[in-house]
Amino acid sequence: MLTYLANLAHRRPKRILVGAVLFLLVAGAIGAPVNSLLAAGGYNDPTSQSHLASDILQKHFDRGSLPVVFEVVAPGGADSPAARSRAVEVERVLRESNHIRQVVSYWTSPPAIAAGLKSKNGQIGLVAAEVEGSDAQAPEWAREIADEIPTSADGVIVRAGGTAILYDQVDKQSEKDLLLAEVITVPLTGLVLLWIFGSIAAAFLPLAIGLFAIVGTTAILRGLTMVTDVSIFAMNLTTAMGLALAIDYALFILNRYREEIANEIDREQALARTVNTAGRTVLYSAVTVALSLAAMAVFPMYFLRSFAYAGLAVVGLAAFAAVFIAPALIAVLGPRVEAGRGMNRTRLQAPVEKSFWYRTALRVMRRPVAVGAAVIALFLVVGSPFLNLNLGYPDDRILPPSHSARVVGDDIRTEFENNIADAVTVVLPDLSGVTDEDLSAYASDLSRVDGVSAVTSPTGVFLRGERVGPAIGRAGADGERAYLTIDTHADPLSDAGEASLEALHRVPAPAETMFTGLAQWNSDNVNGIVDRLPLALGIIAVTTFVMLFLFTGSVILPVKALLMNLLSLSATFGAMVWIFQEGNLGALGTTSIGSLVANMPVLMFCIAFGISMDYEVFLLSRIREQWLASGKTAADNERAVAVGLARTGRLVTAAAMIMAIVFAGLLISEVSTMRMFALGLALAVLADATLIRGLLVPAFIKLAGRANWWAPAPLVRLHTRFGLSEEIPRPRLDSDVAHSEPSRV
């Protein structure tokens, strides 16, 4: 099949390229508006009690899905006429909207509720409400409402915050950050590509593959938005992975083609050999990377599932372009891609013994225990903070203080006794046998819990066990079900907030209860990730093992790859905990809240693991090729490692450098989660391409010797039947290149 594709690309290259251009035009037209259709949320577990409780509130009590909060800041105080006038205007706009539910204001609420809506310094009053709709709809409606309210008038400032505004501002900021990152990284990447590939024509090859993969993926994501929610952050992955994989695959394809041409093989045969060797490796690599990313589909949050969708699409399209469109481009460009500074024919014909990576491999294999122990010790030390990992839920502190959602959030945390937007709501889904007296007793007991400022139930407002007023707007009952609202002093994402939530759960209730609110969201969603993490890791481990076994015929090398990747990624996560969770290095300009957003380690693990497997497959392909063509002695094992590293070391290092540039471009992001994502992946890629591939792999394979290629007899038979066994005859071994002149096949 690959030979047929290679021959077709050589004989009909222009038709293939015309088809690719038509695909780009159609996919571009379909995918152009995709950013406006993507959502900034997706962190919630739809199977959790907090989500189910919210559904009941929306369906039966006319509640909204996301909170929105307006703070009215007046130098003359919240009770001044100017502040009251602006607050009335805010309330009017909210009540006139068809998308707003449950408006609560300092100026119109009963005293027991109003006390929590005025800042301690008396200058800020709050108007809170809820916005109906999904994560994609509610933020847009909240922004439209906020746009109707002047931010400053009569000396009074009005700022919009709350989760609905947070999601909208994260959405808009992510679009700006992605555009700016592309403006910076694309020209820089182009210059590095020109330096590595040695010619403009050759440097165009990865850009063409990346463009095909990225544009095609935007069209697929557009289609997915018609049937499911898709996160806005999927576009960040699409751009970064599309360009990064395109560079990897183009480097491997083009370098192999140049090797074949340097051996004075005619272009058609060189292209066929390239697609059958490097192209086959690219396909194996793509499947391995795709399976790593696909593991995110097991999580219930559409934030993570979106990365699985985008990852599968961009990897598949990049692999297709590498084995079909890239050969057509090579056939059209001809001699213009066959040589260039840094990858010219003289260099490719040079004896492998003279290469830096060959000599490095030999030096490592002379002292494998010392080198391996040193690298492992380094990874363990750097990764030790990972033992203190604390997972949490994102709030407005992922944005810088220049955004109104962040300002409102900071003011509520520091200037108010309790956070009305993040109150705990208790839903009783079945009131069978429950009386008003039972509800009052339950509310009274809840109000006695430490840290609770007030409890609003259908039978009244309770404070420290006593009823202090009637219920207005923040509780309800319809005869079949009811809900109560609990205001607390604790930050819902803090340890105190978690302890307060646990204490509320322990209060005996007259019927079944379901809790919701930010504190419960945090608990449910962290548990939703942790509970499914073993399944995701198991899928990654099993599929990676199977793919590498089919690729190598060994059971030792796949286990080695898994362990080394886990070691490398543990070090990366240790660095992320040290910087972003513990706040060292100033948290790189972000705000440390003592935890990492629970989704991000999972996302980073799947992506970094896939990229690591990408490099692993490239290296093992050349080692295996040399091993199979040798006498299979211990000395041949060492030479296979040295030759494999010599043939791929420069490519992997160059690809890692460019990939690190692509990811590092996202460090300019104003959203702290994306800054952590960028730094973590850049570090993981560089560590894997240098310390793992350059030092730890040669040390391990040296120590394992011929056992590297061992497998039990049943698995040997399985590999013989289903594994990668087709070998394209070569005119000579790599060992011959060092001692003879090239000859024509």
pLDDT at 342 over 70: no
Distance CA 475, CA 436 (A): 13
Distance CA 274, CA 330 (A): 11
Q: Which helix (H) or strand (E) holds 362?
A: helix 356-366
pLDDT of residue 350: 60
User: Which position has the higher pLDDT, 73 or 233?
Assistant: 73
Distance CA 667, CA 669 (A): 5
pLDDT of residue 745: 26
- Give counts: helices (H), strands (E), the chain: 28, 14
Percentage above 70 pLDDT, the chain: 95
Distance CA 500, CA 144 (A): 35
pLDDT at 739 over 50: no
Identify whether the C-beta of residue 73 lies closer than 8 Å to the C-beta of residue 157.
Answer: yes
Contacts of 369 (CB under 8 A, 6+ apart): 699, 703
707, 557, 695: which is closest to 620 by C-alpha?
A: 557
Q: How many CB atoms lie within 10 A of CB 588?
A: 16
Distance CA 242, CA 316 (A): 10
Distance CA 424, CA 504 (A): 9
Q: Across residues 478-482, what is the average pLDDT? A: 90
Total residue count of the chain as it appears in this document = 745
Angle between helices 518-552 and 556-576 (to 10 degrees): 150
Summarised one tens digit per residue, pLDDT across range 78-111 is 999 999 999 999 999 999 999 998 898 999 887 8
Q: Which amino acid would we find at residue 125?
A: G
Q: Which helix (H) or strand (E) holds 427?
A: strand 424-428
User: Which position has the higher pLDDT, 39 or 587?
Assistant: 587
303, 294, 299, 298: which is closest to 136 by C-alpha?
A: 303
pLDDT at 70 over 90: yes
Contacts of 313 (CB under 8 A, 6+ apart): 216, 217, 220, 221, 238
Q: Which helix (H) or strand (E) holds 558?
A: helix 556-576
Q: Is 205 helix (H, G, I), strand (E, B) or coil?
A: helix
Q: Across residues 390-408, what is the average pLDDT? A: 91
The listed range with the strongest mean pLDDT (227-231, 343-347, 363-367) is 363-367
Summarised one tens digit per residue, pLDDT across range 445-476 is 999 998 888 899 999 889 999 998 887 777 88
Q: How confident is the model at residue 732 (pLDDT cuts 50, 70, 90)?
A: very low
104, 41, 52, 42: which is closest to 520 by C-alpha?
A: 52
Distance CA 385, CA 305 (A): 28
Beta bridge partners of 455: 462, 486
Distance CA 626, CA 733 (A): 7
pLDDT at 358 over 80: yes
pLDDT of residue 264: 65
pLDDT of residue 100: 92
Query: DSSP string spanning 164-203?
Result: HHHHHHHHHHHHHHHHHHHHHHHHHHHHHHHHHHSSHHHH
Q: How confident is the model at residue 347 (pLDDT cuts 50, 70, 90)?
A: low
Q: Across residues 153-181, what is the average pLDDT? A: 89
Task: State the chain's mean pLDDT as an integer.
Answer: 86
pLDDT of residue 737: 41
pLDDT at 725 over 60: no
Angle between helices 234-262 and 267-274 (to 10 degrees): 130
Tokens of 318: 């990049």
The listed range with the strongest mean pLDDT (402-406, 591-595, 657-661, 727-731) is 402-406
pLDDT of residue 220: 94
Tokens of 524: 């449910």
Identify whether the C-beta of residue 568 lies closer than 8 Å to the C-beta of residue 692.
Answer: yes
Q: Is 13 helix (H, G, I), strand (E, B) or coil?
A: helix
| Predicted model pTM | 0.84
pLDDT of residue 36: 80
pLDDT of residue 126: 94
Summarised one tens digit per residue, pLDDT across range 626-681 is 888 888 888 888 999 999 898 888 888 888 888 888 888 888 889 998 899 899 99
Q: How many CB atoms lie within 10 A of CB 733?
A: 14
Out of 343-347, 530-534, 545-549, 640-644, pick the least confident.
Answer: 343-347
Summarised one tens digit per residue, pLDDT across range 507-538 is 999 999 999 988 898 899 899 999 999 999 99
pLDDT at 116 over 90: no
| 466 φ/ψ angles, rounded to the nearest 5 degrees | -115, 145
